[in-house]
Amino acid sequence: MPPSRRSCPAGGGDGRRWDTSGVGHVLFPRGALALQRVDGALLFAVRAALAMALAGLPAVLAGRPDLAVYGMLGAFTTTFGRNLPYRRRAGVLAWVALAMTACVGLGSALASVAHPWSSVAGGAVVVVATALVAGVCKYVCDATGLGGLGAILLLFSFAVAANATTTPGQVLPRTGMAAVGSLLAWALALLGRLVHPDRPQRLAVAAALRRLAELLDSARGGLGRSRYRATAAVLQAYDSLGLAPPTTSERPGEDNTCVRLTDLAWSLLIDSTRGTPEDPPELARLLRTQADMLADRHQRCPQVLAGLAAYSSLPPEPGRRFSPRAPVPDDPEARRAWVLVRGRPGGHKPVSVLLVPALRMVVGTLVAGGAALALGLGHGYWAAISAAAVLHSVNVRTTVQRAVQRTLGTTLGLVIALGVLAGHPAPVLLALVVVALEFLLEYVVVRNYGLGVVFLTPLALLLSDLADPESPEELIVDRALGSLLGIAVALVCALLVVHDRAAVRVERALSQCTEATERAERALASPSGPAPPVIPVHLAVSVVELREADDAAAGELLSAGIDPAALAAAEQRAYLLLARLLRH
């Protein structure tokens, strides 16, 4: 936490004030170049590249590279829902496919009417429409928990279609190509169910085990970011498995290694509140070994499972399970906790909290796009997209990180694009390079956004050249100027549009965590038997939300005005109660 927040008075909104002494902490782009460990990235990147190839190459070979671009835009559908179980992924990607197709269709229809390429008034209409689409996409992606590039790809699809030279007769073919690309991406995203139906669950459990190993590596018995990440990962693993922690039941004859490992992960996580295990390095090694095995499709190793069980408070017999789809009482708080653990991360945020980032997105893209139009920049929508990409963040601190990543990634990406375009490749070769760039983009963007931009930049330029060939020098200059303008506007916008509602989210999260702990204490004191299953679910979700809300508010310039000691005490109390509930 920034030092200035430690001196904030306890209390609610009356304590909020400008956090001037923490400006350096907020504006320092710490972590911008950090790399993340991600399992399953290779197969996902192959699938994304295959979707791009199937959606675009046939049209290029048929002599219609202009239509191929819209099929490739639709293929971006595969980017979403990478960690979701197949059944839920099918529903999410169906909505994304509709949204992607609608963005291309609406953008093409607007271009055919407004003629932004020949009319300043039409260009202004498209700028305003782009800003509104950016705000809506940002709000919806935040509310539904669609992370990654999320709103940017939807906005990119709309902007490309809205700024292309289009006649009314071209609207339907372009929309149809986007629909075909989206459908292909949807089908490929679900095809893995026939080969490895439990892969998303295995990767979710592997991620939870790695987070637990990181918690052990921190060599601290206290609470902190490592424990929050581990808790969130374990809850995500249960969500992926369709289970509700932490009620246990005996189910003889059933042997599900992923469930068993998640049981162990929950027990190890909760046991860590009572102190460090006997041999933390060895336990961390066992956790990483088992995570590697899950990621490599080798589910079990009796020696590793036995070693993990030795550190857990759960009995070692394989029949012990957390009850799947435990019934939820007819209680508003219980239902809300169940909704949260069922994978809707945006559900815990009040509407007012979601509106300010969306407003930043609208203002940033509107100003950047308007400035590019006023300055007469070619492909002025690139300025709006750059602004949106930087503002597709959590707070001012992550906006600064995105700005650094965008600047460095765009610079390197322009060098790659210049090298490709300088050779004036044929459309087929250009399409193949786009497919290769899509593979590299999806492989590295989950590790670091800046690395993703290195390949996203030439990909966008090559798609533009595929649709409407231009001078490579003009494309590079337009992209460089548009990116600089968009990044600068985004930074100013993030500083001027104050997100005071982030502080409200902290207050609300603290209140909900306090309510959850009080309910847990009442349940433990009740003589009627074990606590209802939703009690620990609500408690675990509320403590994760408390940490997320505090981290988000710490990255803003307006202090939440809540004593960090009160937040730490509430967090510690919740984890100790979770340990009591597990024993109870």
Note whether 411 and 316 are same-domain residues.
no
Q: Which stretches does DSSP call E strand in 354-433?
A: none
Considering the chain, what percentage of its residues have pLDDT values greater than 70? 80
Please give the DSSP secondary-structure letter assigned to residue 250: E
Range of the domain at 453: 41-195+350-496
Other beta carbons within 10 angstroms of residue 321's beta carbon come to 19
3-state SS class at 445? coil
Note whether 124 and 55 are same-domain residues.
yes
**Predicted pLDDT of residue 123:** 93
Note whether 70 and 204 are same-domain residues.
no
**Predicted pLDDT of residue 384:** 95
**Predicted pLDDT of residue 310:** 64
Of the residues 496, 514, 540, the one at which a domain ends = 496
Q: Answer yes or no: are the C-beta atoms of 414 and 476 closer than 8 Å.
A: yes
**Predicted pLDDT of residue 122:** 93
pTM of the model: 0.85
Note whether 298 and 337 are same-domain residues.
no
**Predicted pLDDT of residue 136:** 94
How far is residue 513's CA from residue 332's CA, in Å, rounded to a whole number? 15
Q: Answer yes or no: are the C-beta atoms of 456 and 356 closer than 8 Å.
A: no
Low-confidence ranges of the chain (pLDDT < 70): 1-32, 148, 219-223, 244-255, 274-278, 297-350, 529-533, 559-560, 584
Note whether 84 and 190 are same-domain residues.
yes
Other beta carbons within 10 angstroms of residue 162's beta carbon come to 26
Please list the residues that pair with 324 across neighbouring strands: 243
Q: Using alpha carbons only, what angle is made at residue 533 by residues 527 and 536, rounded to the nearest 5 degrees?
A: 90
Note whether 391 and 308 are same-domain residues.
no
584, containing H or E segment = none
Note whether 523 and 429 are same-domain residues.
no
Note whether 478 and 565 are same-domain residues.
no
Judge whether 276 lies within some domain.
yes
How far is residue 552's CA from residue 182's CA, in Å, rounded to a whole number? 33
Other beta carbons within 10 angstroms of residue 316's beta carbon come to 13
3-state SS class at 18? strand
Note whether 367 and 267 are same-domain residues.
no
Number of domains making up the chain: 3
Judge whether 417 lies within some domain.
yes
How far is residue 71's CA from residue 60's CA, in Å, rounded to a whole number? 11
Judge whether 6 lies within some domain.
no
Judge whether 575 lies within some domain.
yes
**Predicted pLDDT of residue 330:** 41
Sign of CA dihedral 15, 18, 20, 24: positive
Note whether 162 and 217 are same-domain residues.
no
Which alpha helices (H) appear in 115-224, and where do they start and end? Answer: 120-144, 150-162, 168-191, 199-217
Judge whether 33 lies within some domain.
no
Judge whether 7 lies within some domain.
no
How far is residue 120's CA from residue 152's CA, in Å, rounded to a whole number? 25
Burial 377-402 (b: 16+ CB within 10 A, else e): bebbbbbbbbbbbbbbbbbbbbbbbb
Sign of CA dihedral 31, 36, 42, 43: negative
How far is residue 267's CA from residue 285's CA, in Å, rounded to a whole number? 17
Q: Letter for the amino acid at 482? A: G
* Phi, psi for 520 (deg, rounded to 5): -65, -40
Note whether 483 and 371 are same-domain residues.
yes
Q: Letter for the amino acid at 256? A: N
Please give the DSSP secondary-structure letter assigned to residue 10: S
Judge whether 35 lies within some domain.
no
Of the residues 496, 527, 551, the one at which a domain ends = 496
CA distance between the termini of the chain: 34
Note whether 316 and 212 are same-domain residues.
yes
Counts of helices then strands in the chain (DSSP H, E): 22, 4
Judge whether 1 lies within some domain.
no
Of the residues 466, 496, 526, the one at which a domain ends = 496
Per residue in 492-539, pLDDT (tens digit) is 998 888 777 777 888 888 998 999 899 888 888 877 766 666 788 888
